[in-house]
Amino acid sequence: MKLILSVLAAFPLLFINVGEDFEWGSIMFGDNEQKIWSVEKANNWYEKQGWLVGPNFNPASAINQLEMWQEETFDPERIDKELAWAAELGMNTMRVYLHDLVYKNDPSGLVDRMDTFLDISEKHGIRPMFVIFDAVWDPYPKAGPQRAPRPHVHNSGWVQSPSIDVLQDPTEYPRLEKYVKGVIGHFAADQRILAWDIWNEPDNPNVSAYGDVELKNKVEYVLPLLEKAFGWAREVNPTQPLTSGVWNGDWSSDESLKPIEELQIELSDIISFHCYDDPVSFEKKIKQLSRYGRPLLCTEYMARPNKSTFEGFLPLAKKYNVAMYNWGFVSGKTQTIYPWDSWRKEYTAEPELWFHDIFRYDGTPYIEGEVEFIKEILGEE
């Protein structure tokens, strides 16, 4: 795989066949042909969306993806309330995580609950991007009742999908294929959905939280499965674009990309990325990724102590027409008002400066002026 990717980076035109249909380009990875949207198709799609702004969303009543989507804890009333708050800000999209174990245990139930979520979203003028897999936080997810939050710890119950045991077991791949095709295939023509994010931070080593139990060679397992997941998604012909966001590395040139970043960018119809640094770094990353000529979506940002803020980022995003998804929305069981270092440093009370999130559990703004700024910039013509 690394050899294929390095050759692709050096001689990309040998592997791209636009053919007679300008809407598609075919990229070969081994024996796997992937039909990627052409740059023109991607930009034509993006021009119709307007400026996309919203949060990474998990209701405050759920500690993780499993608690959000399992039948016993799915909370449409809470979701409806929180999406109404988002709409009042002028937000029009959300990034929402799914989980393979929910589909494994209750495939029709997950699809039904997604349909309910989409009905609620549509009522509030919000089109979500769904995340299929996630490589961050607890590598040993278990279905059923979820543990209570660890006091004052950031994302103490968030789980990976799939587990690291499944990553290492090729006999589980057919089940994952059914999940990808079952979910995306069911909603392949559903205009209520904006896009599909195939894998969140696929090579994240989880050093600060689960580094002692995380796979040390994780990327060797994720890289081929990421390629397969994109292929499975394309086999059901979704009308929505696919992406997987680069999150940590040097993106200044094609030569500086890691193999997994090459794969993410080459297989994405639209380019997504994360930035929790300051506005200068954010603008630099925008300019670096603009060389691909595709729509740009910043699918994670906003960590106040890092100078990643709404006031610092949204004006730049509007200038460059970058879609924006801040991390966190309503303070709740994920406890993302606490910083990442809460896994190593003890906190006994609410931090003076929240790390993520916009609203308290009852809908009261954490910073009134911040909420007014969001409303103002999203309300501008």
Residue 22: predicted pLDDT: 57
> Which residues, in sequence order, are bridge partners of residue 223?
none
- The verdict on pTM exceeding 0.85 is yes
**Residue 48 belongs to a domain:** no
CATH number at residue 289: 3.20.20.80
Count: domains in the chain: 1
Closest CA to 82 of 368, 362, 377, 375: 362
The DSSP code sequence of 68-88 is: HHSTTT--HHHHHHHHHHHHH
Closest CA to 134 of 300, 371, 315, 3: 300
Residue 23: predicted pLDDT: 77
**Residue 113 belongs to a domain:** yes
**Residue 184 belongs to a domain:** yes
**Residue 296 belongs to a domain:** yes
Q: Could you give the dihedral angle defined by the CA atoms of residues 303, 307, 308 and 314, in that order, rounded to the nearest 10 degrees?
A: 140
Residue 26: predicted pLDDT: 65
Q: Which residues contact 115 (CB under 8 A, 6 or more apart)?
A: none
What is the Cα–Cα distance from 150 to 140, expressed in whole angstroms?
17
**Residue 172 belongs to a domain:** yes
Residue with tokens 């606490």: 338
3-state secondary structure (DSSP) of residue 240: coil
**Residue 257 belongs to a domain:** yes
Residue 15: predicted pLDDT: 36
Largest CA distance in the chain: 63
Closest CA to 233 of 220, 244, 223, 222: 244
**Residue 23 belongs to a domain:** no
What is the Cα–Cα distance from 20 to 23, expressed in whole angstroms?
9
Residue 34: predicted pLDDT: 80
Asked whether the beta carbons of 295 and 42 are under 8 A apart, the reply is: yes
Closest CA to 293 of 39, 25, 23: 39
φ, ψ dihedrals at 19, nearest 5°: 70, -160
Residue 195: predicted pLDDT: 99
DSSP letter (8 states) at residue 149: P
**Residue 24 belongs to a domain:** no
Residue 27 C-alpha from the chain's centroid: 23
Please give the structure tokens belonging to residue 67.
């608690």
Domain that holds residue 69: 54-379
Residue 380: predicted pLDDT: 84
Residue 6: predicted pLDDT: 42
3-state secondary structure (DSSP) of residue 169: coil
Residue 381: predicted pLDDT: 58
Per-residue pLDDT of the chain (381 residues; tens, 9 = 90+): 443 444 334 333 333 344 434 576 766 555 557 899 999 999 999 999 999 999 999 999 999 999 999 999 999 999 999 999 999 999 999 999 999 999 999 999 999 999 999 999 999 999 999 999 999 999 999 999 999 999 999 999 999 999 999 999 999 999 999 999 999 999 999 999 999 999 999 999 999 999 999 999 999 999 999 999 999 999 999 999 999 999 999 999 999 999 999 999 999 999 999 999 999 999 999 999 999 999 999 999 999 999 999 999 999 999 999 999 999 999 999 999 999 999 999 999 999 999 999 999 999 999 999 999 999 999 985
